[in-house]
Structure 1
Amino acid sequence: MQVMEPVQMALPVTLPDDETFASYFGGENSLEVSHLKSAFDSLATTFQYTYLCGLGDSGKSHLLYATCIHAQERGLSTMLLSMREVIDFGPMVLDGLDALDVLCIDDVHLVAGNDAWEKALFNFFNRFNEPGKCLVVTADLLPDMLNISLPDLESRLKWGTTFQIRSMSDDDKAEALVKRANMRGLELSDECARFLLTRLSRDMRALLDVLDKLDHASMAAQRKLTIPFIKSTLQL
């Protein structure tokens, strides 16, 4: 089999380059992060498969991105496949991906009831199931709650280690914003973080986009992040 060079994520959206295990809101020592990192230690001799499920802002996509970064740091070929973005292109999207070392699939629940995709994913599982391969998928619910039509695919989705991840509370989001800002060398007070949560969308991805905008504005103006500065920058 031809060895592929590490590839860039296949998500068409812009993700922060600091979405690593270290910046995960659950912490580097959380069970899910510890498991994903340790999976690489035995990858040479076993097939590693992990199923992550949770609703809303649970950080599932963050964990997939962090897994891909971790794989690239080890020189492994990797890709993150967002079902939300590729499902309309059809199952041929999976062609050739079994040559990768690590594949992360986001929002696999979206294939439920789609016969072509269900069969294609089942066949992909069978091809990818060999030592040296790592597969991580996310969904909003446990496999037996997804209304998968193909029993064999539902069985495959139950193969590996499963983690149910709780959604982030407002306290979690505020803490995550402060932590992410600190990792960028940006000082964001708890008061400012909570102000953002009360005045803007609570969607974590949207909040991180706002933090990126504030970071650039703060650098350009040589100003610290204060509530008046945030109001002015975001025209609140």
Structure 2
Amino acid sequence: MSEQLSFDLPSVPALGRADFLVAPSNAVAVAMIEAPEVDKLVLTGPEGAGKTHLAHVWAARSGAAIVAATDLTEANVPALAARPVVVEDVPEIAGDTARETALFHLHNLVLAEAHALLMTGRGPVRGWGITLPDLASRIAAARSAALETPDDTLLAAVLAKLFADRQLTPKADLIPYLVARIDRSFAAARDMVARLDAASLAQKRPVSRILASGLLDKDTADTR
């Protein structure tokens, strides 16, 4: 079958509270995010587990600024500390003395100004690799909420949301088929939906179990 040129248009994820799917694997994290008095919180979990989504929920509730840890500098600390702050992907600055120092100063100034601080990162805090001792100890002292690996029900719901974010309507049998076959992770779900979207556009075919089967068969062949 001939393939047409396709445009890789980004999906638009829905990041409101009503769009976040609550399940046993994330219920504790959601409750902590929604607690009325949170001064310092660390949100952890695997890639694609919903950390950014929950961070946006918290930011919307608290009026917080959101900044990537890799964008932190000493110069932007005072402006950021004037309101609650979300610092995303903190492990990405592990070993970067300048940015670790900026986060340390931001941490202290935000709390001194009686604002709240939310930090996110993959995996347990003890594995973040932060080298500045004072910063590491302050992060370790924060309350921590972990997003866990999804069960079948949550993975199915996440797949449905990912399709909806891309304005795709999959065949009824597709999501159960994928739940049984893809890796049990949000990252795998996101990757598969993106690939199905691209393949559907390129091949002028509906998003279906048949299309997914072809992609999965190709993955199997590539690993041999």
TM surpasses 0.5: yes
Report the more deviating stretch, 171-180 or 29-38.
Answer: 171-180
Alignment correspondent of 1:146: 128
One-letter amino acid of the structure 2 residue matched with residue 114 of structure 1:
D
**Contact 1:192–1:227 (8 Å) recurs in 2:** yes
**Contact 1:112–1:149 (8 Å) recurs in 2:** yes
One-letter amino acid of the structure 2 residue matched with residue 203 of structure 1:
A
Residues 26-65 of structure 1 aligned to structure 2 (within 5 Å): 26-27=22-23, 30-39=27-36, 42=37, 48-65=39-56
**Percentage of matched positions with identical amino acids:** 20
Note closer, same or farther for the CA distance 1:20–1:90 as it changes in structure 2 (3 Å cut).
same
In structure 2, what is the Cα distance between the partners aligned to 1:49 and 1:208?
A: 34
**Contact 1:53–1:60 (8 Å) recurs in 2:** yes
Q: Deviation per CA, 1:127-172: give whole Å up to 9, x if none.
A: 0004652211112233333232211101111232111221335653
Instruction: Give, in angstroms, the shift of residue 229 of structure 1.
Output: 9.0
Note closer, same or farther for the CA distance 1:182–1:95 as it changes in structure 2 (3 Å cut).
same
**Contact 2:23–2:154 (8 Å) recurs in 1:** no
Return the TM-score normalized by structure 1. 0.63
Matched, 1:127 2:109: yes
**Contact 1:20–1:62 (8 Å) recurs in 2:** yes
One-letter amino acid of the structure 2 residue matched with residue 144 of structure 1:
R
Determine which of 61, 65, 88 is the counterpart of 1:106.
88
Report the more deviating stretch, 170-179 or 109-118.
Answer: 170-179
Alignment correspondent of 1:203: 188
**Contact 1:118–1:153 (8 Å) recurs in 2:** yes
Alignment correspondent of 1:9: none
| RMSD over equivalenced CA pairs, Å | 4.0
Instruction: Give, in angstroms, the shift of residue 126 of structure 1.
Output: 0.8
One-letter amino acid of the structure 1 residue matched with residue 93 of structure 2:
V
In structure 2, what is the Cα distance between the partners aligned to 1:184 and 1:146?
A: 33
Gaps of 5+ in 2: 1-9, 219-224
**Contact 1:174–1:190 (8 Å) recurs in 2:** no
One-letter amino acid of the structure 2 residue matched with residue 37 of structure 1:
E
Note closer, same or farther for the CA distance 1:27–1:184 as it changes in structure 2 (3 Å cut).
farther
One-letter amino acid of the structure 2 residue matched with residue 146 of structure 1:
W
In structure 1, what is the Cα distance between the partners aligned to 2:11 and 2:165?
A: 16
Return the TM-score normalized by structure 2. 0.66
In structure 2, what is the Cα distance between the partners aligned to 1:95 and 1:108?
A: 19
Gaps of 5+ in 1: 1-13, 218-223
Paired residues, what number? 199
Instruction: Give, in angstroms, the shift of residue 93 of structure 1.
Output: 4.5
Instruction: Give, in angstroms, the shift of residue 175 of structure 1.
Output: 2.0
In structure 2, what is the Cα distance between the partners aligned to 1:104 and 1:15?
A: 23
**Contact 2:163–2:193 (8 Å) recurs in 1:** no
SS at match of 1:34: helix
Runs of 4+ residues deviating >6 angstroms: 182-186, 228-231
Note closer, same or farther for the CA distance 1:19–1:55 as it changes in structure 2 (3 Å cut).
same
Note closer, same or farther for the CA distance 1:190–1:91 as it changes in structure 2 (3 Å cut).
farther
**Contact 1:112–1:146 (8 Å) recurs in 2:** yes
In structure 1, what is the Cα distance between the partners aligned to 2:134 and 2:144?
A: 17
